[in-house]
Amino acid sequence: MKKQLGFYVDAKRCIGCFACAMACKNQYHQASGVVWRQVYPLKEEIYPHHERAFYSLSCNHCEHPVCMEVCPASAYTKREQDGVVMHHQERCIGCGNCVRSCPYGAPRFNPVTERAEKCSLCWQRLDAGIDPACVKSCPTNALRLINLATFNEPNAVQFPPGYPHMSRLNPSTRFRQPELPKIIKPEDQQ
């Protein structure tokens, strides 16, 4: 299989501390309100405790990116060598079709530059041989950079509950499910 980089989101280790999301802002200083990496709390129908399990998501660098597909101005390209999906600012006409069409809401509309922008897997850092800013900043090693060609984590899942199931796009993100502790509560507070 060709080299395809992606994120491994280990929701068992993830403590929802937002360090990764802020590390992205710390690196790229996006306009206020524009967030490339968001930490989504799992709703109680998936993890029975309010805001105690999370998925940290940015762009999934899909095998068949819908943003690249629907962009009328061909502003997206997918790098041959590692499968990173990149957005080229100067080609963007600001039509918002990618923002509308990506089921994961990865491209965001920047009201200042009136263009779309999204996580580019820190390709400048990758080319310089260092980890993306979010992966490097995770304190519990819950967000890791993986190469799908050599990735064989046994209990990894591609479409966990709470993550839109879009097999045609074949997103490169893989997940590990959160787990629940044994809970001992006083009788009257079950």
Partner 1 sequence: MSKITKQEIERILENPVSRRSFLGGLLATGALVILPSCRLLRPGTVDTGQVWEGGYQTFRNACSRNCYDTCSIVSYVKNGVLKFVEGAPESSFTAGGLCVKGNSYVRRVYSPDRIKYPMEQQGRGTGKWKRLSWDEAMDKIARKILEIKARDGSLLGLALSKYSGSFGITHYGVEGMMSSLGYTTRLVGTPCWPAGMDAQNFDMGNMLCNDPEDLPLARYMIVWGANPAWCSVHSMKFLYAAQEAGAKLVVVDPVFTQTAAKSDEYVQVRTGEDGALALGMCRHILDRSLYDKEWVTAHSIGFDEFAAYLREHVTIEWAAQKSGVPASHIAAIAEEFAQARPATIWIGYGMQRHVNGGASVRILDALVAMTGNIGKPGGGARYAQMQTWGFNYHAKNQKQPESSKGWIGASGPKGEFDFSGVKENVKYADRTININKTAQEILDTKDPQVRMLWVACKNILSQDFDRPKMLKAFNKLEMVVVADQFFNQTVEQADIVLPVTTFFEEWNVNASYWHYWLSLNEQAVKPLHEAKSDIEIAAALSKRMNELAPGSCTFPTTVDTKDWTAQEFNKKELDLFGISSWEELRKGPVKAKLTSSAPWSDGVFATPSKKYEFHSDLCAKNGHDALVMYKEGRPAYDKLRLLTPHSKFGINSQFQNLDWMADFNSEPYVYIHPRTAALRGIGHGDAVRVFNKVGEVRLAAQLTADVPPDTLLMYEGWYKGLAFNCQNLVDDLSSDMGSFKTGAPGVAIHDQFADVVRA
Partner 2 sequence: MAALAGKSGGVLNIVARNSLDCVSSPQENTAWSIVTSFWAPKKIFCECIYLGRILDNDIILISLRDFFAARDGHAMAAACATLTKAAPPADGHPASADTADELEYAFNRLFVGPGAVPAPPYASVYLDPDHGLMGESTRIAAAVYDALGVSSPSNGSLPDDHLALELDAAVVFHALKAREQSAELAALWDYFLRDHLMLWVPLFVACIKQAPDVPPAISHVASLLSAWLSEESGAKPVTHVPPCIN
Partner 3 sequence: MIPSMELPLVFFTLLSQLAIGLTLLYALRTAGPSVQPEASAKTQWFVFAGILAFSLIVSLTHLGHPLLAPRAVLNLSTAWLSWEILIFILLFALMAATAYLGVTRRFVWLTAATGFVALFVQGMVYSPSSFPAIHNVLPFAFFLVTAVILGAGTSAWFAPQDTQPLLRWILVGALSAGLLLFLVAPCVWLSGGIVMRLTGLAYLASPLYWAHIVLGLAVPLAVILVSRRIPSWLPILLLAGALCGRVVFYLDTIHTGVNIGGLQ
- Among 2, 12, 31, 165, indicate the residue that binds partner 2 (CB under 8 A): 31
Phi (first) and psi of residue 57, to 5 degrees: -125, 140
- Which residue, 32 or 150, is less far from partner 1 as judged by CB? 32
Q: What is Dmax (Cα atoms) for the chain?
A: 63
10 Å CB burial of residue 30 (0-12, 13-18, 19+) is: middle
Cβ-Cβ contacts under 8 Å for 77 (sequence gap 6 or more)? 68, 85, 86, 88
- Which residue, 81 or 149, is less far from partner 1 as judged by CB? 81
- Among 34, 35, 68, 86, indicate the residue that binds partner 3 (CB under 8 A): 68
Rounded Cα–Cα distance for residues 113 and 129 (Å) = 30
Position 50 contacts partner 2 (CB under 8 A): no
Residues from 80 through 119 that contact partner 2 (CB under 8 A) = 110, 112-113
* Cα–Cα separations (whole angstroms), residue 123 to 5, 10, 85, 117, 126: 11, 22, 10, 14, 5
Which residues of the shown chain bind partner 1 in the complex (CB under 8 A)? 13, 15-19, 21-23, 25-33, 35, 39, 49-53, 89-90, 110, 112-115, 117, 122, 124-125, 128, 133, 136-141, 178, 180-189
Residues that bind partner 2 in the complex, under the rule CB under 8 A? 29-32, 34, 110, 112-113
Residues that bind partner 3 in the complex, under the rule CB under 8 A? 40-43, 45-46, 54-55, 57, 66, 68-74, 91-97, 99-105, 109, 113-115, 161-166, 168-169
